[in-house]
Amino acid sequence: MPVAPHIKEFMASSSFIRKMFEEGIQLKKQYGKDSVYDFSIGNPDLEPPAKVRDVLRELGSSNERGMHAYMPNAGYPETRKAMAEKVSGEQECEVPFSQVVMGCGAAGALNSVLKAILSPEQEVVVSSPFFVEYAQYVRNHGGILKTVSSQEDFSLDLEAIAAALNNKTAAVLVNSPNNPTGKIYTTSEIKGLSDLLAKHREKTGNTVMIIADEPYREIVYDGKTVSSIFPYWNDSIIVSSFAKNLSLPGERIGYTVVNPSAENASELVDAIIYTTRILGFVNAPATFQRIVAACWNEPVDYSPYEKRRTLLKKILTEAGISFANPEGAFYLFCKVPKRTNTVGEQGNDGEFCDHLKKYRILTVPGKGFGKQGWIRLSYCIAEESIARSRESFIQAGTDW
């Protein structure tokens, strides 16, 4: 039976990251693990806090009945209370646990939200560059992802967002710190976004939701902080996970929090609970709901990421590759250099990624994130591997 045409199209356009990751496996077999420099996938390599293992061990040896049974679709009450405490501190307002729905990672949570709010042909606005799978998530539920430009430094272009709004706009999706740029949106930007949404509502009667995707919230540098959303726009939702901050991407544990001041907040929560069930997630994983309830505020040392950021920036500078300075997350978004001996011609990002592969360097082209002419490097890899990549980057830059 043939594959649906739109799925074939999306498969071709969204497979950059996984394709590079899989090519890396083959190159490591060919050249040896230490001779391949895989910057392709954002797979956190810091180990989870020791308490995660301790709690997992306790749960594994427990004889309590029903530990692996169904629970309420929204999650265990004690876990939802822990997430409410976490988000109350981040959002500078009291969030009751009734506003929390546990999800299967941030991706599962975001799909539940989009399923709950989107009618066919409604639009979700996002600034470019953006996480590649947003377009597919929106399409999953009959919506259309409408991309707008960002400022030169990748901050929000509020004029571009305002121009994109219309009666079909259901939400604006923000990701801070951003994947792939590491940009953190300031409180001033969030206030500005809220102001323009208020003007849009006054003009059209259409309320637009802000959805904040925040899995990198805790991974920040240089004293930066991630702005709260709830105090500035009532109709807002937080989606996040423990994939990045606790290094648990494979456990698929995340959550959604609806602003308690949102219009019809209770109904919206009920809708997300319902869509979590009918999308087939049913509920978030039972064991790791218990673990994150106990471990969400465990201290984590992110300084290895900062050291790697510093080292990779130094190497790229030596290689003549410019980049946006990341304020958070663990990516460097790099501008493709102009071709050697070519006047004024910037190289193609796909071609540059193929060029880097000749030097056993794996990266992801920016076109996969809606931004041609750039590439993304993930530096959640061993510091030693980054250091060893220096000569390859310099030679690749020279030969380009």
pLDDT per residue rounded down to tens, the chain (400 residues): 788 877 777 776 666 666 666 777 778 888 888 889 999 989 999 999 999 999 999 999 999 999 999 999 999 999 999 999 999 999 999 999 999 999 999 999 999 999 999 999 999 999 999 999 999 999 999 999 999 999 999 999 999 999 999 999 999 999 999 999 999 999 999 999 999 999 999 999 999 999 999 999 999 999 999 999 999 999 999 999 999 999 999 999 999 999 999 999 999 999 999 999 999 999 999 999 999 999 999 999 999 999 999 999 999 999 999 999 999 999 999 999 998 765 555 679 999 999 999 999 999 999 999 999 999 999 999 999 999 999 999 999 999 9
Alpha-carbon distance of 367 to 350, in angstroms, equals 8
Sequential DSSP letters for 293-335: HHHTT-----HHHHHHHHHHHHHHHHHT--EE--SBTTEEEEE
**CB burial readout 111-138, b (16+ within 10 A) else e:** bbbbbbbbeeebbbbbbbbbbbbbbbbb
Alpha-carbon distance of 102 to 141, in angstroms, equals 20
Q: Is the separation of the CB atoms in 280 and 112 below 8 Å?
A: no
Query: Phi and psi of 30, rounded to 5°?
Result: -80, -45
The confidence score (pLDDT) of residue 2 equals 83
The confidence score (pLDDT) of residue 31 equals 80
The confidence score (pLDDT) of residue 16 equals 63
Q: What does DSSP say about strands 331-335 and 374-378: parallel, antiparallel, or unpaired?
A: antiparallel
Q: Is the separation of the CB atoms in 259 and 113 below 8 Å?
A: no
Which residues of the chain does CATH 3.90.1150.10 include? 5-48+301-399
Which residues of the chain does CATH 3.40.640.10 include? 70-295
The type of residue at 21 is F
Predicted model pTM? 0.94
For the domain spanning 5-48+301-399, the CATH number is 3.90.1150.10
Beta carbons within 8 Å of 209's beta carbon, 6+ residues apart: 117, 170, 171, 172, 235, 236, 237
Alpha-carbon distance of 139 to 158, in angstroms, equals 24
Q: Which CATH number fits domain 70-295: 1.10.645.10, 3.65.10.10, 3.40.640.10, 3.40.50.1110?
A: 3.40.640.10
The confidence score (pLDDT) of residue 32 equals 80
